Chains A and B, each alone.
Chain A
Amino acid sequence: MSGSLAYDVAHLIGGGVLLASFLLLYQRRVAALIGVLAVQGALVALAAAWQGVVRGEAHLFATALIAFAAKGVLVPLLLQRIVARLALDRAVETALPVGASLAAGVALVALSVLVMLPATAGSAGALARVDMVLALSVLLLGVLMMATRRTAIPQVVGLIAVENGLLLGAVGIAGLPLLLELSIAALVLVLVLVAGVFALLMRTRLDSLDVTLLGRHRGEGG
């Protein structure tokens, strides 16, 4: 493959993941939210696979497979089951209006470009630099999503989006020991399991997943 094609495809997939993050911010309904998350997971797995193709490292394919299985399939299914079983309210309550959160997202991307490009000026090729910029953007967008959603499930989705950004970044760096990627994937699974447990508990105890309601139950009163 010529260098430019590899770069273009990777750039395309990375752009796709970033777009998915923006879509996550845009969603109003929980089901759609989980769908977009699944797409983002798949795209990240694709990016890993493409990196494997470009650099010819076998373990990247294994990572792509695990990522796809975890983030593309398993996580959305678990979340769907949790949402269905606990009959949660369908709408996503936002603390910040959607327009404003999108604008904030753009600002965050600009910030990560402003920061990451000069920082990575000295090191490896254009591919790694683009990947790092995208990774940072997806990470910041994920945290923005957690900070602007009131209910538990969107916050967990935000957290998983952050993990996706990290995986995208990790995949971009050549020569990272496999252990790290495996652990990232594994820990995502554990995160979701734990989140599920919480959702179950909150549901049985508090009849709603509104995180702000939790505040009243904090120890030592309001």
Chain B
Amino acid sequence: MTPGFAALSAAFLLLAALAVASPWGGRRAGLFCGGVSAAGGLAALAGLLALGAEPAFWRLGPALALALDSLSGWFLVAVGLVVAVAAPALAAEEKGAGTARLLPLPLFVAAMLLALAAADGLTLLAGFEGMSLAAAALILARKDTAETRRAVSLLLGFSVAGGVALALSVGLLAGAAGGTGFDAIRSAPPEGWRAAAVLALVLAGAGSKAGMLPFHAWLPLAHPAAPAPVSAMMSGAMVTVALAVAARFLLDLSGPAQPLWWGAAPLLLGAATAAFGALRAVLAEDIKALLACSTIENAGMVLAALGLAACFRAADLPALAGLALAAALLHALHHALFKALLFLAAGAVLAEGGSRLLDRLGGLVHAMPATAGLALVGVASAASLPLSAGFASEWLLLQALLAGPRIGEVWLQVALAVSLATVGLAAALAAAAMLRFWGLVFLGRPRAPRVLGAREAGMLWRGPMAAAAGLLLLAGVAPGVAASGAGAVGEWLGVGAADGFGVGGGSGVAGAMLGLAAPGAAYLPLPVALLLAAVAALLWWLFRRVGRPEPVRGPAWGCGAAPPPRWLPLGDPLTQPSAAGFAQPLRRMLAEPWLARREGIVAPEPAAPGAARLGVSVGDPSVAWLLRPLGRARDWLAARAEVWRDWSLRRHLGLVLALVCALLLAFAAAG
């Protein structure tokens, strides 16, 4: 009974107890969510204990088998922290509603933990599809409208397809290995066409759940449909589980001797997904859809980092492989945290500001200063500003990409240069999206009267957000700590060399200052923080000597804009920067080829008094090129089936006769 297993089984037991007790929980939603949060904490503890420890293995009845190794340990930490942080906020959202509605919540968390700690194909799939079913139930239990139903049908449709793809890939792996247990599969890595098929199926299965191109269309619809804390768990935890499954297949189950293209495919797909997700995030007009698109972007980056680690391992550069793996693991952890924080902030804004649309918010910093401050920590990480957690993992990923050309193959070097540019574009677009989100929601003047009624979010919102922000600040200033954990995972996977550049936390100058090291570079956040503090102190001293007259308030200059009319006390919203306005340069520059941009003036009929309206619409190409054709093909086949179904009884009898004759002919031919 290793300590890790004890914590994990405690988490499972607690979740089971909560699930059983929920119908009779009465009004105690707060206690219930607290329990789920505690279970999340236990899972994170189990993950921590498993890092670097000897993998342990148990059977849970004839069907399920669990194993706790370093890789699953790392992702348990990420998922556990997100659940621990997001669950209490759900109590605020519930405000004393019954716990019966929350029954799927512990099942959702338990399924995620099951998928992470799976030791064989069946348990992985049980957890993988179980979490989608529980998430769908959780969404529909809370809000059952046409929009949520459409989102849930997309969510379930993609998860069933993804589950089938994963099952096929495990089957292919098990075919060579003679058993679906991961230990058996590890002993017989796939080669040739089987490896290619496994890679394609894993990218389709785990990738679609993580929002990878071209299977991402459902994510910006499904995640916003849930209440904010559940969206936080879906974007933070569920996507992290999908990335964990991808990492399990890419680096662990398929053995070290995979060729270069094994890593190149996820690298290029990940980079493309990152840029596409960031572009859609910049153009999104609904704060939760914006954050969901940002999830696609960050999932793409983690996938690219995993692909890069596989490439380095294929070119047997273990130190760089460790670097890339550290980038992937750190970015997955940091993304989980800052996405949970941002979704909670969005939830608080929705609860107080009354709307999810950027064009109906604004100026909330005055009413909700604490939420604005905490959200700023998340935005800084998502925009990877220096000293933030996001920047630490971003720096590692860029260093890994910069070290990419050490692999000899020219085609891969060119691909690496292109994906470096794409990841750079994605990072910058993400920064633009996050600044747009924070600026339009919190700064400027309110764009709708409802916003004036906003008050600071309750303690149940700010508490979890503060916890997440604290973790992010800690991870930002001292990334070496997390990096050493990632080093342990690398060692277990046989991906990184313990002493090499690998992960700076361990050796040399970087180690001492808990910074990050890479070939020919080091990022030492503590000294940089001291430098910035020193310069700030210098500036403060300068201004104290010069004297700082108190600023005075006056109407905004705005190049001579007239004061707002009486009936628009908040100023004419049209003169405010709007969501579409902020996105307009990028929509015109980048969205043209990719997102079927359409801008049209809807002028009123000649005599009509109405105002002309500017219609701006952006379509997702994957819907036009993938989902719609699939739907049309299915309907065509269904029409064919209908024709067959409408045959008269006589023709069906003819069919029976034809079948019997065919069988007889086959029998005669086979002699």
The contact of B649 among A108, A119, A214, by CB within 8 Å, is: A214
Question: Would B654 and A115 count as touching, CB distance under 8 A?
Answer: no
> What is the CA–CA distance of A144 and B668 in the complex, to the nearest angstrom?
20
Q: Is A95 an interface residue (CB 8 A)?
A: yes
Q: Is the pair A149, B650 in contact by a Cβ cutoff of 8 Å?
A: yes
- A221 to B504 CA separation, bound complex (whole angstroms): 71
**Residue ID in chain B nearest A222 by CB atoms:** B646
How far, in Å, is B350 (CB) from chain A's closest CB?
A: 44
Residues in B with CB closer than 8 Å to A215 are: 646, 648-649
Known: A115-B664, A115-B667, A118-B671. Is A148-B656 also a contact (CB below 8 A)? no
* CA distance in complex: A7, B361 (Å): 99
**Chain A residues, Cβ within 8 Å of B16:** none
What residues of chain B lie closer than 8 Å to A148, measured between beta carbons? 650, 654
A111 partner residues in chain B, CB cutoff 8 A: 661, 664-665, 668
Within 8 A of B (CB), among A106-160: 108, 111-112, 114-115, 118-119, 140, 143-144, 146-150, 155
Residue A212 at the chain B interface, CB threshold 8 Å? yes
**Is the Cβ of A108 less than 8 Å from the Cβ of B661?**
yes
Q: Which of A197-221 contact B (CB under 8 A)?
A: 211-212, 214-215
Choose from A114, A143, A146, A222 the contact partner of B668 (Cβ within 8 Å): A114
Contact A212 B648 (CB under 8 A): yes
Determine the chain B residues whose CB is within 8 A of the CB of A146 once the complex forms: 650, 653
Residue of A nearest to B671 (CB): A118
Q: Which of A108, A115, A119, A211 sits near B650, CB closer than 8 Å? A: A211
CB pair B667–A144 under 8 Å, yes or no, is no
Q: Closest residue to B661 on the A side, CB-wise? A: A111
Q: At the interface, yes or no: B660 with Cβ under 8 Å from chain A?
A: yes
Q: Say whether, besides A111-B665, A115-B667, A118-B671, A143 and B650 are in contact (CB < 8 Å).
A: no
Q: How large is the interface on A (under 10, 10 to 19, 20 to 34, 35 or more residues)?
A: 20 to 34
Q: Is the interface of A mostly helix, strand, loop or mixed?
A: helix
A112 to B665, CA, bound (A): 9
B657 at the interface (CB under 8 A from A): yes
Q: Is the CB of B650 within 8 A of A95?
A: yes
Closest A residue to B663 by beta carbon equals A115
Quote the shortest CB–CB distance from B619 to chain A (angstroms).
36
In the complex with contacts A215-B646, A215-B648, A147-B668 CB distance below 8 A: no
Which of B648, B649, B654, B660 is A140 in contact with, Cβ under 8 Å?
B660
Task: For the complex, give the distance between the alpha carbons of A140 and B661 in Å.
Answer: 9
State whether B646 touches A147 (Cβ < 8 A).
Answer: no
Q: Assess whether B664 is in contact with A143, with CB atoms less than 8 Å apart.
A: no
B657 x A211 contact (CB < 8 A): no
Fill in one digit per residue for B620-661: 1 if any A CB lies within 8 Å of its CB, else 0.
000000000000000000000000001011110110110011
Complex alpha-carbon distance, A222 and B642, angstroms: 9
Residues of chain A with a CB closer than 8 A to B671's CB: 118
B651 cross-chain contacts in A, Cβ below 8 A: 147
Q: Which residues of A contact B646 (CB under 8 A)?
A: 215, 222
- Residues B653 and A211 in contact, CB atoms below 8 Å apart: no
Residue of B nearest to A221 (CB): B646
Contact residues in A for B650 (Cβ distance below 8 Å): 95, 146-150, 155, 211-212
| Closest Cβ–Cβ distance, residue B375 to chain A (whole Å) | 54
Contact B667–A143 (Cβ < 8 Å): no
Question: Taking the nearest CB of chain B, how far is it from the CB of A161, in angstroms?
Answer: 13
Q: How many Å from the CB of A25 to the closest CB on chain B?
A: 13
Q: Is there an interface contact between A115 and B668, defined as CB atoms closer than 8 Å?
A: yes
- Taken together as a complex, chains A and B put the C-alpha atoms of A149 and B649 apart, in Å, by 10
Q: How far is the CB of B367 from chain A (nearest CB, A)?
A: 57
CA distance A194 to B474 in the complex (A): 82
Residue from B646, B651, B656, B664 with most neighbouring chain A CB atoms (10 Å): B664
Q: How far is the CB of B78 from chain A (nearest CB, A)?
A: 50
Query: For residue B661, which residues in chain A have a CB less than 8 angstroms away from its CB?
Result: 108, 111, 140
Bound CA span A212–B646, Å: 11
Contact of B648 among A118, A143, A211 (CB under 8 A): A211
Contact B649 A143 (CB under 8 A): no
24 A-B pairs with CB atoms under 8 Å apart are: A108-B661, A111-B664, A111-B665, A111-B668, A112-B664, A114-B668, A115-B664, A119-B667, A140-B657, A140-B661, A143-B653, A143-B656, A146-B650, A147-B653, A147-B657, A148-B650, A150-B650, A155-B650, A211-B649, A211-B650, A212-B648, A212-B650, A214-B649, A222-B646
Q: A147-B653, A147-B657 are known contacts; what are 6 more A-B pairs with Cβ within 8 Å?
A: A108-B661, A111-B664, A119-B667, A143-B653, A146-B653, A147-B654
The 6 A-B residue pairs with the shortest CB-CB distance, nearest first, are A147-B654, A147-B653, A115-B664, A143-B657, A146-B653, A115-B668
